[in-house]
Each structure stands twice: as C-alpha cells, then as structure tokens.
Structure 1
Amino acid sequence: MGKLYGVSVGTGDPELITVKGLKCLQQAKIVAFPEGIQGKPGIAQRIITPWLQSHQTLLPLKFPYVQDERELNQAWETAAKTVLGYLQRGEDVTFACEGDVSFYSTFTYLAQTVQKLDASVTVETMPGVCSPMAAAAALGIPLTTRSQRLMILPTLYHLDELETALNTAEVVVLMKFSSLYPQIWALLEEKGLLASSCIVERATMPEQVIYEGLLDRANLQLSYFSVMIIKIQ
C-alpha cells in the first residue's frame, strides 16, 4: 500500500514551501492537486510548477466551489477513489495543498474519504504558511502580541458572527467575506475600527494588493482570496 502525503505549499509565493515539503514534492512520482477552473491552472498548481520535474505524473482532482453537501461529498469520493487506485498499487501520492493542510483545507476531506474507503492507508502531512500569517507578513505587522485573543472566521454569512467576534477577541481575521463587505464596513465604521482594519488580497501572489486602513474604502470590489485583519486593542 502506498502512502498519501499532504504537502502544504503556502499562499502563492513558491518560496514559502518548507524544505521538508519541497523534498517530499520533488521526490514524488505522482503529484496531485486541485484542478483549476475554466482550463486554467489552480493556485496550488501555479505554486508548485517551478518545482515540478518532467518525469512526474500530474494528477489534477476536481473539487467544485459549491456549498451543496451532496455534490461536495460526491466530488470528494470521486477524487478519493482516483487517489486510492494508485495507493492500492503500492504507489505513493503527494497532494499539494494551498496554504496549510490543517487549516480549512481540501486535503482534510480528501484524506478522510480515502481512509474511509480503505482504513489501511497511511497519511503524512507537512505544515506550511496559511493566509492569516501571510497577510500579516505582507502588512509588516505581528498578527498577535502578548496575550491578545485571536479569532478567525473562515466564512461569514451573518453580521451577528462578526459582532460576537469583535466583543470577544482583540484581533479578528476574516476570510471569504467579500460578498458582505459593505455591511462589514458599516459595522466597523459604527464601532470606530476602520482605521485599525486592513485587507490583503491574494497575499504573497504576484497580484497582491494591500489596503492599510479602510476609512475611505467603503466600496472596494474584493476577490474571494481576501483576508481582513481587525485590531480591536
């Protein structure tokens, strides 16, 4: 039985992969990653392309960007069966994961489904840089100091969730929030937090954009890959 490796490849800059992760990636015969959309390479594939070698087998796996649980489960099972076919032939598979494998990661669902189908599969993961840390580095600020309480909201559907976070933590990180940005901006204005809030779009990628302070930025058109850091104290 082959082993399934999950390698964290960071948020965009190919140099953010760890030495251990790079060694695992370059020693792999089969490299899997999420398939891009509209025929374009996905983020993980773009990150690892400089490190890939011509003899490696590339294995793009389809993971739809939807909320429907049934469709997601079907996609994970299809991907898991594809990977399992290689593992059961004694071949290792290395999955390149954007960000960190343990931080709201597609790899988690893939690995869990593979092991559900065959409990004898061994999984090994390698940590890496995730988007809140990358955003803080891009801004040149510490994410937290001393005993500051940090709260990360990976998705935001209702402002009540943000209200609770602002009343609980001293640093709040928002991810996947762009559809609610006008309401978020209004709430931060009400609470006097616009000056101490920043946004990084596509952190560490060539297209990275930084917004330091949001006082005059009520109408930003933000991408899905945006991270907001709110400093409350």
Structure 2
Amino acid sequence: MTTIGTLYGLGVGPGDPELITVKAFRLLQQSPVIAYPKKRIGSKSYAHQIAELYVKPDAGKEMLGLVFPMTRDPEILEREWNNTVELVWERLSEGKDVAFVTEGDPMFYSTFIHMMRLMQEKHPEVPIVTVPGVSSFLGAASRFNLPLADGDEQIGIIPATEDREAMRRAIEAHDCVVFLKVAKVLPMIIGLLKEMNLADKAAVATKVTSAEEMVWTDVRELKRAELGYLTLMVVKKS
C-alpha cells in the first residue's frame, strides 16, 4: 500500500525572503510538491516568490499553483475549495509530501487554515504539520523599532472593519492595537484616532519587510491615501 503523504503548512514570513525559518527551508528542499496561492492575474504572491527563491529549478519538484476565489458566494466557494483540496489530495494519495507555503504564519488569518480544516473533513487520514512563520505585525514592530507589549501591557490584534464603535472599544481596551487590513477603512480609523488624541501614537506600514515596503509614522498624511490590501496600523498608547 502507498503511504499517504504529509501536508505541511509552511509560514514563510511577511515578505523579506530571509525571514524564513530553517525548518521551513528544509521542508521546501525535501517536499516533492510545493503548493502556493496563485493569483489569476497580476504579480506573484510573496509566498510564491519566496518558494521559488529557495527551490532549485532542476530539483524535479512540482510547483502546484492553487487559485482561491475572492468571492462571498457560498456555492462558488464550496465548489472551488473542494476542487483545490482534491488537487492536493491527488498528490498526497500518491505518497508525495505537499508543502503549502503561506505568507506570515499558517495558523494566523491564513488561507492554509481553511485548507487544513477541509482536508481533515474530507480526508482525515492525511497527516498535517504546520511550521510557524513571522507574521506581518511582528515585522512591523521590528521595522518601527517599537515594542508591542512589555511587562503587563495588553495587545489586541484586530481585523479593521467599518464598525467604528468596535474599533474605538478595541483601542480603549488595550495598551497597543494592531489593525490588520486597515486600508479599506483608513480615513475612519484616522478620524477616530484624532478624536481620541492618539493620532501621534500610530504608524502604518504596507507590504512590510518586502522590497515594496512603505512606512508612515505620521498617519495624518494618509487620510486620503489609497493603500493596498497588505497594510496594517500599529497604535501604541504608552
């Protein structure tokens, strides 16, 4: 009988190719199949770029690009996700290990989380192993040279939404707040910070640690800026 391959979820960091762990590097070298989120159009994802950097072209590996639909339609999501999981299962059922690379950490707001859950549901016999990676908010802390939490300080990591009062409560309840994917509500968050006299306690980074990184330490300059999806804000009150 063919031994079922292992599905690895590898965190490869927020953009800087050097922010990959030794373990993730080793598994990239060892796994015969490298799976990665594939964009339908446009540039390659950070995860794809980093995987290609560390995998030799003549190594005989399969680069398996997986398209994840950007939609809320439940029928489309179910169909496409099932197809994607079955593509990975085909390789695993042949006894091949599959290393799924993901930006940041595989267990933190990652595409891999849903892949893992669905694989466990449809093929519970598959061994699944995750390798932690450097998340974007940790990269931002390093870039800003800003301790996110010290001593008994409390930190909140919050997906930014249009719920203004919920965002206010998050700021009030924590010594430090990291707002993820903040670009879509940036004017509202900046206005809220001004009301709370905290505009000078915030910093913004987009594509942090990558070659395309941009950083702003005066967020008031950004009230009308149009930034990309991979943008976060750190608000440190103390």
- Residues 1:205 and 2:207 aligned together: no
User: Which letter maps to 1:24?
Assistant: L
Match among 117, 120, 123 for residue 118 of structure 1 = 123
Shift of 1:147: 1.2
Q: Distance in 1 between matches of 2:152 and 2:115?
A: 35
Aligned-pair identity in percent equals 31
Specify whether residues 97 and 221 from structure 1 end up closer, same or farther in structure 2 by C-alpha distance, changes over 3 A only.
Answer: same
Check the 8 A contact 1:149/1:171 in 2, yes or no.
yes
Please give the per-residue CA displacement for 1:60-93, whole angstroms capped at 9, x wherever unaligned: 0011223344433333221111101111111111
- Say which SS state the counterpart of residue 35 (structure 2) adopts: strand
Please name the residue that 1:129 is paired with: 134
- Say which SS state the counterpart of residue 144 (structure 1) adopts: coil
User: Which letter maps to 1:62?
Assistant: V
Show the 5 A alignment for 1:29-108.
29-54=32-57, 55-108=60-113
Shift of 1:185: 0.9
Shift of 1:208: 0.4
What runs of 5+ residues in structure 2 fail to find an aligned partner? none
Check the 8 A contact 1:7/1:125 in 2, yes or no.
yes
- CA RMSD across the alignment: 1.4
Under a length normalisation based on structure 1, what TM-score does the superposition of the two structures give? 0.95
Match among 5, 8, 16 for residue 13 of structure 1 = 16
Q: Distance in 2 between matches of 1:163 and 1:187?
A: 7
Check the 8 A contact 1:36/1:43 in 2, yes or no.
no
Q: Distance in 2 between matches of 1:112 and 1:17?
A: 24
- Say which SS state the counterpart of residue 224 (structure 1) adopts: coil
What runs of 5+ residues in structure 1 fail to find an aligned partner? none
Please name the residue that 1:166 is paired with: 171
User: Which letter maps to 2:125?
Assistant: S
Task: Give 4+ residue runs of structure 1 displaced > 4 Å after superposition.
Answer: none
Please name the residue that 2:7 is paired with: 4
User: Which letter maps to 2:61?
Assistant: Q
Please name the residue that 1:141 is paired with: 146
User: Which letter maps to 1:49?
Assistant: E
Check the 8 A contact 2:5/2:126 in 1, yes or no.
yes
Q: Distance in 2 between matches of 1:216 and 1:29?
A: 47
Q: Distance in 2 between matches of 1:151 and 1:177?
A: 14
